[in-house]
Every structure is written in C-alpha cells, then in structure tokens.
Amino acid sequence: MRPVLRSLLAVCLLATACTAATTPRAVAQEQAVEIRSSSQPFKIDDPAARRIGRLLWRGGIMMTANSPGFGGWSDLHVSPDGRSLTSISDEGAWLTATIEYDGEANLAGLSGARMGQLRGLDGKPIESKAEADAEAMARLPDGSWLVSFERRHRLWRYPSLTATPLPIEGPAEIGRQPANGGIEAMTAMPDGRVIMLSEEYGVQPGTVMGWIGTPAGPDRYDWRSFAYETIPDFKPTALAPLPDGTFAVLERAFDMVRGVRCRVMLVEPRLSTGGTVRGVELARLASPYAVDNLEGLAATRGPRGETLLWLMSDDNFNPLQRNMLLLFELTAP
C-alpha cells in the first residue's frame, strides 16, 4: 500500500477510534502473553535511512499478541539495564516483558510478556472506561508505581502492579483539566520528587501546566506549578529524565489532513525548578518516517554509555494503527 494511502486510511480510522464505544479489556488475573514482533521500517521510502535530527535509528518493532486486551499503551518504563519494560494502557491493563536485542545491540523483539488489569481502591480489577483510563506512570524510589488517570482525574500509588492502590492527593488544579486532556506525562526523580505535565490544561497562552511534587510525608506531596511552552497543535504525551540530568519530552499533534506528527524535545534541568520551561526540538517524526500515536517514552544508557530513547505507541485498538516500540540513540549536537 502506498504511504500516502496508508496514512489517509490511518487518519480516518484514528478519528473513528477516538469515539469508539468499547474496546477489549485485559484479563483480570495476571497471565502470560505471547507477543509477535515484526520489524518496523524507519523510513518507508528509503530503506537506507538511519537518522532524523539528533536521533539515530536503533531498531523498531510492530507488536501483536494472543490477547484481545493487548493495545492502547499509554506510557512506558524501561529498566536502567535495558532488559525489561513495563507499560500501562488507557483501558487499565498493565504489561511487562523482556527486551530482546540483535548482535549489534539494536531492538529485536520482546519475550516473557505478562499482562493483567490494574485494581481499584476496592481491590477489584477496574472495569469501566471512566475509571480505567490510565495515561502516565512513574517508578518511585521505593519501587512502587504512581499512575495518573484521565476522565476522572486522579493519582493512585500501586505498591506493585497487582496490588490494591492508595489514593494520592494531587495538585489543586488536577480536576480542572479537560476530561480527555489530563496528565499524560509524568516521571519521578531519585530524591522522590514527581514531575508531571498536563496534555491540554494551562492558564498562560501558548503553554500547558506542569507540576512538581515534593514528598511531604507518607503518600503526600507539596505541589507547585510551572508552565511548559508549546507550539500550535503539539501537546506533551510523555516525559523522561536523561542520564545527563536533562529531560526528554514527547509531543504529539493530529489532524485529519496531516495525520499524526510527533516532536521529541530536549528540556534543560530547570524543568524541575519551576518558571516557564521551553524545549529544543531534537527530531520531528511524521510519515514516511516510523510514527503512530506515540504516548510512551523512556531513556536508558546503552552498552557503550550512549543515551537511548524508547518510544511506544497507543494503537487505540484500531486495525490500521500499530502498537510500535521504537529505539533511538541520542547523538551529539
């Protein structure tokens, strides 16, 4: 299929998927899942291409699985050693898997996957979409997980993915966010601070609001806000600290004419100090490059000490969208 035709079909179905009434749920009990991976081309019309902006291609896969609940992946965590990943979906599912590499340390596939459903405060698996729309996650220093939800905006801390969560009081503005435009980007620092970005809520023109939460006792944070500068159409969907103390932010745009576009941004350390924060564009992904509804971002060090960026997409359970995992190396300016 020609790239233009495929992009047009994907655009139409993406719009349809956003209003879909039902999507498959993951099984309530944890179970093994077989992930089938196929190679994802970096640039459809140029097999030799390997670079865009400051990003060097290190492999990509398209993923399907033997579970109807596999999909909708909204955020991503990769272990510091690059051996395993964890993800959550906007249907309340969680996923863990072992990462496989080829002989050149490029991404080759996933194995040993397991899935289950996040639980609610009553200890039962979350069922309704209004409750299950998990959009961002952060691994806290004690190994627990902080998860943000849209529609009914809230923060829950999970001691483990299979555990009953504890509610966390969020910033004062958390309930003012649009139903489908809440906290999409979140990370935690080694000192316990939590940094979050709203997808759509802001009070200053040309910005969205972010928050820094400083631990203030067991399961409590003192929150202060800052502004993250955006450009028209692009909104943040993921956030990850880089090994050198800077941050990467993933931004996404979508419309019926141009389809999905994503920007990978570099933000200086002052993201964690407040004020108005501006990023520098590292790369912009759009067709014919590998791109879809990218919502997950993680950063690790590679075997040579290089900085690696991992991007994961939410397929909206749409047959013409893809669950993709992409790997890039961040190169020097």
pLDDT of residue 218: 86
DSSP string of 147-216, one letter each residue: EEETTTTEEEEESSTTSPPEEE---TTGGGS-TTSSEEEEEE-TTS-EEEEESS--SSTTEEEEEEEEE-
pLDDT of residue 23: 53
| Pairwise CA distance, residues 180 & 208, whole Å | 14
3-state secondary structure of 77: strand
Stated pTM of the model: 0.91
The per-residue pLDDT for 25 is 55
Beta strand 221-229 with 235-241 is unpaired
Which regions of the chain are under pLDDT 50? 1-21
What pLDDT score was predicted for residue 24? 55
Task: Give pLDDT, residue 271.
Answer: 61
Question: What is the four-CA torsion angle of 155, 159, 163, 165, rounded to 10 degrees?
Answer: -20
Range of the domain at 314: 3-330
Tokens representing 112 are 């040993």
Q: How many domains does the chain fold into?
A: 1
CATH at 10: 2.120.10
User: What pLDDT shows up at residue 320?
Assistant: 84
